[in-house]
A = this chain, B = another copy of it.
Amino acid sequence: MTTTTSPSVDLGWHMGAPSLAIDPDALSPERMRARFSGMRETSPTVNVWRGAGPVSALPRALRNDIDALTFVPLGAQTPMRCDASLAANHTDGIVVLHRGQVVYESFDGPLKPHKPHVCMSVTKSLVGTLAAAEMVAGRIDPDALVPVYVPELTDSAWGNATVRQVMDMTTALQYDEDYANPAAEVWAYLRVAAQLPGMPAPAGSPIGIRAFLQTLRANGTHGERYAYKTVNTEVLGWILCNVTGLPLEQLIEERLWTPMGAVQDAYFVVDPRGQAGAGGAFSGALRDMARFGETMRCRGFFNGRQIVPEAAVADVERGADPAHFAQAGYTLLPGWSYRNQWWMTHNAHGAYCARGIHGQNIYVDPKAEMVIARFASHPKAASANTDPTTLPAYHALAQHLISAS
């Protein structure tokens, strides 16, 4: 980063063409919001085809009792209405499924039902699910060391890390993911990944994500604590591609979007090598994210077929060690864990979620038979900015759906 001012750090994701140099207004919240519904307008992308089959049904049974539902935001005293929370946390669109039916839906601003929106780190949960499927099929051994699948990483931080440690982000990396730190390595990653369109990697940088991964080094002992670092997902994606012999976009297309009967093509932003960014570069339509969440809730079965192996979903639901997670210091997420690239609440409903910065979510509540897919464009990156007005709202809604059923 060339600047340390807060807005440019928070809005770094959408810097680019038209860049600040030619458009001083490019970092406004309004422009960022438009950008999130059109990442391909500033970056090279690779398409994820929905397939030639029919769009799967998402029956509608809209309820009028959700807008007025209230919850108490984390750290607050005063209840907030659900409809008021949408503006408060910069929601671009939200779909709530109950028992597979759309009970609530809202689109706002530039987001339309047919427009893919950036998923940020929700991408990781797609990749983790596919990797879990390969694990239960026996094609990836979670206890194997990473170089078994990616020899190029032998001398890197991952040379002595297991796939399981990568999956659950318990590797010890010399790598800072704090967006508020302009010197954090995450900025170098985003630049080599070509995810900051106006800011190419400096001359002499590794070319592309995979070359960059090879330069990273360990800092400590793997497997002792959870530490959320996006580069782990890039390693996982590399493993997945090598094991299957397919690029990531084709895996998502053939194994998820086409069998799910997605309504719309999706896409990945690609790096200068044409590599899809596994850590956060996916854009999809909101209702398709809901379809994916519903697939998970139904233990892999959706659109009349078993899309994800049930054992892979069970391996997600199992969760990981909350003691590892606790060391990361997420005070808003007590007792949670991180498993197969999913965030596990370990609450009484067994809820878990996919989470992306600026407010992207898929929230699966098995007990309430509820799935929420949500896109947002909160001006600040960290999820801590949206958690207070989303997590308790999701849980209140889940409880309401249970009691109203």
A interface residues (Cβ-Cβ under 8 A, vs B): 17-19, 22, 38, 40-47, 49, 52, 114-115, 197, 207, 265, 267, 270, 272-274
Contact = CB atoms under 8 A, between A and B. Distances in A.
Copies of this chain held together in the complex: 2
Given A40-B40, A114-B52, A265-B265, A273 B45 contact: no
A353 B249 CA distance: 36
A185 B18 CA distance: 24
A44 B43 contact: yes
B41 A274 contact: yes
7 contacts: A18-B272, A22-B272, A40-B47, A41-B44, A44-B197, A47-B115, A49-B114
A142 B315 CA distance: 67
A270 B114 contact: no
A80 to B, nearest CB: 34
A337 B42 CA distance: 38
A22 B49 CA distance: 28
Contact of A274 (B18, B267, B274): B18
A271 to B, nearest CB: 9
Contacts of A114: 49, 52
Q: Which of A44, A45, A114, A207 has the most CB of B within 10 A?
A: A44
A250 to B, nearest CB: 12
Given A44-B197, A265-B265, 18 more contacts: A17-B44, A17-B272, A17-B274, A18-B207, A18-B274, A22-B272, A22-B273, A40-B40, A40-B45, A40-B46, A40-B47, A41-B46, A41-B270, A41-B274, A42-B44, A42-B274, A47-B115, A52-B114
A209 B19 CA distance: 16
A172 B52 CA distance: 47
Contacts of A17: 44, 272, 274
A280 B24 CA distance: 29
Contacts of A44: 17, 40-44, 197
Contact of A45 (B45, B197, B272, B274): B45
Contacts of A18: 207, 272-274
A19 B197 CA distance: 16
B207 A22 contact: yes
A264 B78 CA distance: 49
A64 to B, nearest CB: 25
Contact of A41 (B45, B115, B265): B45
